[in-house]
């Protein structure tokens, strides 16, 4: 990314001329975890871009059973970048993000990057647009220490002597903001990787941060989100901190979200902008919103994909639980932000997702829901330009649990399989994995249960 090299021969030359010692190869499992392996750069050759390297698919979450486990990955030359945060482990690494293939040479249907590629192709094939731009705002907590097991958990953060009061951390400056230098280092490292950030700031809760990435197309942005999370974690290790993207790690405080800004473009024109319409929002944008609202409950399975996600999606913490849209109104799940230069910046912001989601699946699902809205001309109704936290009658809410979201996905998935972007197998496998997570959580004692029952 930062190297701006996508010619295979030039990548080989760069490795040799810059004394690169190691190359890291990374690929994503079905639920959004990065997997990685490393080789000496001297053993890398141009044929790796064709024949790749074998992997055991049965050891990757959401991939194959052991009897069909032989697969291989191929590095994408358009994703090459230098990861300076690996210096803490002894040397600079050149990184390549990889695609997953079956042994017959076909792309693997459960590879998240493959799904993102197919979503972009579906948009182009239908002819609605040629680019889906995405701009996520990632929130995370930074703790001094974190200890947890099945029965209890504890996180430690110390702002003494300049404490941040509960829910009073938004945009707070130094010296209260003890994470100022941490965020600057993250922004610097992201810049070195070719990821342009817009702003960073302290968020509402104590020791909570937000860093916003400048918008990019679907697949590129999903890659950047994966790099972002990896960089944040590595920088936290350098600072001897602990980072979590967990949606709700602290009871009684606002949780971590990942608001996703979106717009459709064609021939370098913003399809969500219409200077002759009310609010300069196009009819296609309204239909796109209609698709998001119609399919929001099943979208939550991808955007709010943990049991902990639904501890964030509760009233009272600025949580986007009201499935409606509005202008400049953060109490609605879909906000049409105020901005200048609307011909470029007219967009919508879907506020439900959190950063634990698989970005390839989430961004693809959002696009497919929007496409469905445009094709079927789904009317989102009138905008709700009032405080929905105080008056949300007749407004549908987000699901109450991951189980409910998965049930909605099992019943509402046809929009996802259009153009074979998602396959029924992918959806069923995702639901199966996440259903097992629900069972694992529901059958274990909760720390608060000890408070309620242990000595009774």
The residues carrying an active-site annotation are: 56, 137, 139, 203, 210, 259, 330, 349, 351
How far is C-alpha 315 from the chain's CA centre?
A: 23
Helix (H) or strand (E) segment spanning residue 434: helix 424-442
- Shortest CA distance to 351 belongs to which of 281, 262, 432, 436? 262
C-alpha dist (Å) from residue 73 to 35, 101, 220, 318, 452: 11, 6, 18, 42, 50
- Angle at which helix 283-294 crosses helix 359-375, to 10 degrees, equals 120
List helix spans (H) across 257-383: 283-294, 296-303, 309-312, 342-345, 359-375
CA distance 60 to 37: 13
CB 216 within 8 A of CB 192: no
Q: Which residues pair with 75 in a beta bridge?
A: 98
Query: What angle do the packed helices 424-442 and 296-303 form, to 10 degrees?
Result: 70
Place of tokens 């990685």: 36
Cα–Cα dist 195/2, whole Å: 8
Contact 82, 3 (CB under 8 A): yes
3-class secondary-structure state, position 343: helix
Question: SS3 of 94, please?
Answer: strand
The two structure tokens encoding residue 190: 């992201």
Q: Is 33 exposed, middle or buried (0-12, 13-18, 19+ CB in 10 A)?
A: middle
Rounded Cα gap, residues 141 and 189, in angstroms: 18
CA distance 329 to 326: 6
Contacts of 258 (CB under 8 A, 6+ apart): 136, 137, 138, 139, 303, 353, 354, 355, 357
């Amino acid at each position: 990314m930062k190297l701006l090299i996508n010619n295979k021969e030039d990548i080989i030359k760069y490795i040799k001329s810059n004394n690169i010692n190691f190359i890291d190869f990374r690929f994503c499992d079905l639920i959004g975890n990065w997997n990685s392996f490393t080789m000496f750069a001297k053993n890398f050759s141009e044929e790796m871009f064709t024949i790749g390297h074998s992997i055991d698919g049965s050891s990757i979450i959401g991939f194959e059973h052991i009897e069909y486990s032989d697969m291989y990955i191929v590095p994408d030359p358009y994703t090459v970048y230098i990861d300076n945060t690996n210096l803490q482990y002894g040397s600079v690494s050149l990184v390549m993000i990889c695609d997953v293939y079956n042994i017959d040479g076909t792309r693997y249907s459960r590879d998240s990057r493959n799904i993102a590629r197919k979503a972009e192709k579906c948009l182009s094939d239908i002819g609605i647009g040629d680019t889906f731009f995405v701009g996520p705002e990632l929130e995370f907590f930074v703790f001094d220490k974190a200890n947890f097991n099945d029965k209890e958990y504890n996180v430690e953060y110390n702002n003494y002597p300049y404490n941040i009061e509960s829910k009073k951390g938004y945009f707070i400056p130094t010296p209260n903001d003890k994470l100022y230098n941490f965020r600057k280092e993250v922004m610097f490292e992201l810049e070195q990787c070719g990821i342009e950030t817009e702003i960073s700031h302290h968020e509402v809760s104590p020791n909570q941060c937000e860093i916003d990435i400048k918008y990019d197309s679907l697949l590129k942005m999903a890659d950047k989100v994966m790099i972002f999370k990896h960089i944040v974690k590595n920088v936290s290790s350098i600072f001897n901190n602990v980072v979590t993207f967990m949606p709700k790690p602290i009871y009684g405080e606002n949780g971590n979200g990942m608001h996703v800004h979106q717009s459709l473009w064609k021939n370098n024109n913003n399809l969500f902008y219409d200077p002759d319409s009310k609010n300069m929002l196009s009819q296609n944008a309204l239909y796109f919103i209609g698709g998001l609202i119609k399919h929001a409950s099943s979208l939550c399975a991808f955007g709010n994909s943990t049991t902990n996600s639904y501890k964030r999606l509760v009233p009272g913490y600025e949580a986007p639980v009201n499935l409606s849209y509005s202008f400049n109104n953060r109490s609605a799940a879909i906000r049409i932000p105020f901005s200048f230069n609307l011909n470029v910046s007219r967009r919508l912001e879907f506020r439900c997702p959190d950063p634990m989601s698989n970005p390839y699946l989430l961004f693809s699902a959002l696009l497919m829901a929007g496409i469905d809205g445009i094709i079927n001309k789904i009317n989102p109704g009138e905008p709700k330009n009032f405080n929905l936290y105080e008056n949300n009658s007749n407004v549908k809410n987000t699901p109450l649990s991951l189980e409910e979201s998965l049930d909605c996905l099992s019943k509402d998935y046809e929009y996802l399989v259009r153009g074979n972007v998602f396959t029924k197998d992918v959806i069923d496998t995702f639901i199966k994995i996440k259903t097992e997570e629900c069972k694992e959580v529901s059958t274990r004692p909760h720390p608060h249960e000890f408070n309620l029952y242990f000595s009774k």
